[in-house]
Structure 1
Amino acid sequence: MDTYLIILFMFTFVYAAGLWYLSNGFNQIKKQGRTDSKPMVSVIVSAHNEETHLPGCLECLQAQEYPPEKVEFLIVDDRSTDATGAVTDRFAEQDTRFRPISIKDRRPDFAPKKRAIDTAIRHARGEVILLTDADGRPGSNWVSGMVSYFTEQTDMVIGYAPYTVKPAGHFTKSLLALEYLSHAAVAAATCGLGFPVTCVGTNMGYRKKLYTEIGGFGEYKPFISGDDDLFLTRVREAKQYTIRYADAPETHVYNDPPQLWSKFLHQRMRYASKGFSYPKKVTAGLLAYYLFNLFMFVGLLGFLFVPAVFYPVLAAYGIKSVGEFYFMNLAGKTLHDTRFISRIPLVQVLHIPYVVVFGFLGQFKRFRWAEAHSEAAVQKMA
């Protein structure tokens, strides 16, 4: 028992110190300069059976306040069997900035979404490539806002994609929004410190020249996911490119949280499944984080059988919770999203078993992009 408590407190203090260190990255983000230049931009949206979500996304793109001669919207219809192609064609008929691209087959050596992005980039006329998803809802100044971070020294920009919570304050969705903010917090903090470890494909961009120079997705081409964070890994490991985080509110791309429990479970296990695909030092950090939560989980259950560990485990949990609240509060202020900070204590209670369960199950799951789910077999998220 003594050995367990020693290891638990070692994990706890290292974790708290790590959060304090990471929080310094937020200060670096705030010091970033921006530019007024207006380069040619190619916005890419990959869509597979997205007839429901796509119109809203394209309407948001149509409303972009950026010189029309300096932007194009490449919409890739990847083997859709619904009306996705018709939606894209309709917008292209109304607005010459839209350029439909259609993919009819599948290559076993190239994951579908990565291939869709790669195909669009090969057709792109822009110097800067911006990416979002079919369910993304960028504001009218998204393109101009993201582009403003592309100073002469900047090669890649990653941004925040907060969850929309409707009705406002919806309990379950607000907790999901906080959990998603925690991912963005790590992305922003590590980027500020010069070692970005993650990003989201709903809101990111890079120079076309960069994509060509590093050989696109490279060895990650067959991976079903990772068009965002694994690509970021390739850029970071090249050690010659500058990556920045867009913190301004106009650069946010809102998207809806999973509406079905099955989709949420599928999505989170997909995230966890990539843990051993990162460079060794990132994987080591993720493994340490998992083990810390596992030790904490065992302790919180263990005091039911060994009452003597109650106060030590409670102390470790308290240190962990205070550190996380400090870190998340700074993240919310930096990213201009403090909507649900007051609910962090509740999320912290749920987050420990969440990490333990999904971290384990994710290692045994294989995924398909835009995998179909039978709504008859699942319950909608209440």
Structure 2
Amino acid sequence: MSELPLILALISIAFYLSILTFLITGFLRIKNKETGFQPKVSVVVAARNEEHNLKNCLTSLLMQTYPKNLTQIVVVDDRSTDDTPNILKQFNSKHDVLTIRISEIQNGISPKKVALHEGIAHANGELIFTTDADCTPPKDWLTQTVPLFQEDVGLVIGPAPFTEESKLGNRLLCLDNFATALVAAGATGWNVGVTCSGRNLAYRKSVFEQVHGFQKINHSLSGDDDLFLQTVKKQTNWKINYSLSPNTSITSSAPKSLAEYIVQRRRHVSASKYYSKPIQTAYLFFNLANLLLFGFLIFSLFLQKYLLIAMFLFGAKLSADFLSLYVVTRQFDKQHLLYFFPLWEIFFLLNQTIISPLGLIGKVRWKE
């Protein structure tokens, strides 16, 4: 019984390293083989009170290098009470932008999913691209993502990093975002759907129809991205792909305050209640292993017969974490963020043990 802490630590490091090995090798397995595929595409944007962002978003979509005759832009105005409707009218008078207005939402149904579903229903493209109204997709976003739809690929995940700023908090969030990207891309490399971001996602309209849209996941406020991805993998035989090109990265602003981050994190984590049991179990034991390795190191300071092995195990964890982040940041030329790795380790522990669990408690809302 006296060796129980050591046994738990050994089990923890074995599981922890197994998960990271799975993700790193999966990431390295991804090969973005392009095809000559060039179908009609529809970009669907759900907007609610986005008067400060919508102009930049629409301008970036109108500047896409993908053939204009093969591109449809659909914006769904979800009950906006600011100047969003007037901005859309201005764009409609000069450009070919399909605008749909939603006046009311039925209680108990995710507003964003309703908006996206309505937009997709009016889309005439073979491929559906989704992004958020506060994003500005790069000009080659469509051009470089469409060719990744090989014949057996039904969904393509794109990178969605945060915009870098000089503040320390922002740098930590940017680095943490790449950790999430590793999970998304690494799992994709093994054709496993775990997570993705709705601000950079594309799928065949036929796939959306095949799984009956968001019908099975309407009970979750969020999840128009990760829960939809998991639904596609569970109910169809389509493969998934991940774009490794920095030219397809869609950035958005990171939360500006701790309160804003907690609200955003709660919204994202709330969908994890509906993840498949294997994915939930992997997340739970990975975070538990991380916590136990920290705990074993602290425990060894008081019972020093374990100190050397605790330092070795913790060093192995740190090395694996650093290697994981190096692999993904190198791909997107963001290795400089690794200077913040020591502080990120502390942030990661607090995030996974305190902040993230808040998303599993109470109700969350889409922005008002």
Give the TM-score taking structure 2 as reference length: 0.94
CA distance in 2, matches of 1:200, 1:337: 19
Amino acid at match of 2:147: S
- How many angstroms does 1:150 deviate by? 1.4
How many residue pairs end up in the alignment?
A: 367
Within 5 A, what are the aligned runs for 1:1-382?
Answer: 2-29=3-30, 31-96=31-96, 98-167=97-166, 170-302=167-299, 310-370=307-367, 372=368
- How many angstroms does 1:133 deviate by? 0.5
- How many angstroms does 1:109 deviate by? 4.4
Amino acid at match of 2:82: D
1:273 touches 1:365 (CA, 8 Å); kept in 2? no
CA distance in 1, matches of 2:302, 2:81: 55
- How many angstroms does 1:49 deviate by? 1.0
Closer, same or farther in 2 for the Cα pair 1:306/1:52, shift >3 Å?
A: farther
What is the SS of the residue equivalent to 2:148?
coil
Closer, same or farther in 2 for the Cα pair 1:152/1:79, shift >3 Å?
A: same
What is the SS of the residue equivalent to 1:138?
coil
2:109 touches 2:218 (CA, 8 Å); kept in 1? yes
2:294 touches 2:314 (CA, 8 Å); kept in 1? no
CA distance in 2, matches of 1:266, 1:309: 40
Structure 2 unpaired stretches of 5+: none
CA distance in 2, matches of 1:239, 1:282: 18
Map Cα deviations across residues 273-309 of structure 1 (whole Å, 9 max, x no partner): 3333111110110110121133234335545665555
What is the SS of the residue equivalent to 1:205?
strand
- How many angstroms does 1:310 deviate by? 4.5
The runs of at least 4 consecutive aligned structure 1 residues that moved more than 6 Å come to: none
- How many angstroms does 1:56 deviate by? 1.6
- How many angstroms does 1:149 deviate by? 0.9
CA distance in 2, matches of 1:135, 1:340: 24
Structure 1 unpaired stretches of 5+: 373-382
Closer, same or farther in 2 for the Cα pair 1:336/1:127, shift >3 Å?
A: farther
- How many angstroms does 1:104 deviate by? 0.3
- How many angstroms does 1:260 deviate by? 2.7
- How many angstroms does 1:342 deviate by? 2.9
Q: 1:375 maps to which residue?
A: none
Give the TM-score taking structure 1 as reference length: 0.91
CA distance in 1, matches of 2:155, 2:44: 15
CA distance in 2, matches of 1:256, 1:243: 27
What is the SS of the residue equivalent to 1:146?
helix
- How many angstroms does 1:50 deviate by? 1.2
Amino acid at match of 2:254: P
Question: Mean alpha-carbon deviation: is it higher for 341-350 or for 173-182?
Answer: 341-350
Amino acid at match of 1:135: D
- How many angstroms does 1:324 deviate by? 1.0
What is the SS of the residue equivalent to 1:57?
helix
1:34 touches 1:149 (CA, 8 Å); kept in 2? yes
- How many angstroms does 1:269 deviate by? 2.3
What is the SS of the residue equivalent to 2:4?
helix
Amino acid at match of 2:98: R
Q: 1:378 maps to which residue?
A: none
